[in-house]
Amino acid sequence: MQRLHSVVAAYAHSLRAHEEICFWQDSVLLLGHVNKDPESYERVMSDVVRLKKQVGAEHVCHAVCVKGKSLPPPNIRPKRTTPRVLYLSASSLAFSNAFQIEHELGRHAADWYIDVRIVNKCRFRPADLTEGVRLLPGNSTRKVHLYFGSPRPSRGVAARNVRGG
């Protein structure tokens, strides 16, 4: 795990589309903001693809990518004492959804599990498998696209059309 942390820390400066990078044990959380423009999704996902490649050179790994909401930081200034006070902007719903996807679909041992709301905005190849997972809020079913290998198209393979709006 220490090697994972070292790889992420060494590569963090190049993740320009992300505001927060958190890691604990064998997991990494990246928080990148997007807007309606598909290019904002492409920038965020390009960072994720590059980091996963770096981590994958050292460890077998997979990525779970979920679109969620971030929360504004609290308007407090903790005193400079121990223990440290850390605020994560990612919502607990997004965390829960990522863990739910991993729990329900992890049996497939895919390299990528990507929320349909991200896939619809990016130039990815067709998924190797698509499954529905009940996610928060509302416990409604959302499609998750699974990829064995990179979600980016290979040379000579057409990418899906990106949907705007």
The conformational region for residue 23 under phi > 0 = left, psi -120 to 50 = alpha, else beta, is: beta
Number of H helices, E strands in the chain: 4, 6
**What would the pLDDT profile of 51-106 be if each residue is shown by its tens digit?**
999 999 998 999 999 999 888 888 877 777 778 778 888 999 999 999 999 999 99
Average pLDDT taken over every residue of the chain: 91
Q: Which two tokens stand for residue 25?
A: 């044990």
Q: Where are the domains of the chain?
A: 2-147
What's the pLDDT score for residue 165? 45
| Alpha helices by DSSP H, the chain | 2-11, 38-56, 92-105, 116-119
What's the pLDDT score for residue 73? 81
Higher pLDDT, 58 or 158: 58
**pTM (predicted TM-score):** 0.89
Q: Is 101 helix (H, G, I), strand (E, B) or coil?
A: helix
136 has pLDDT over 60: yes
What is the rounded distance in angstroms from the CA atom of residue 64 to the CA atom of residue 81?
Answer: 34
Single out the residue of 108, 145, 110, 112 nearest to residue 127, CA to CA. Answer: 145
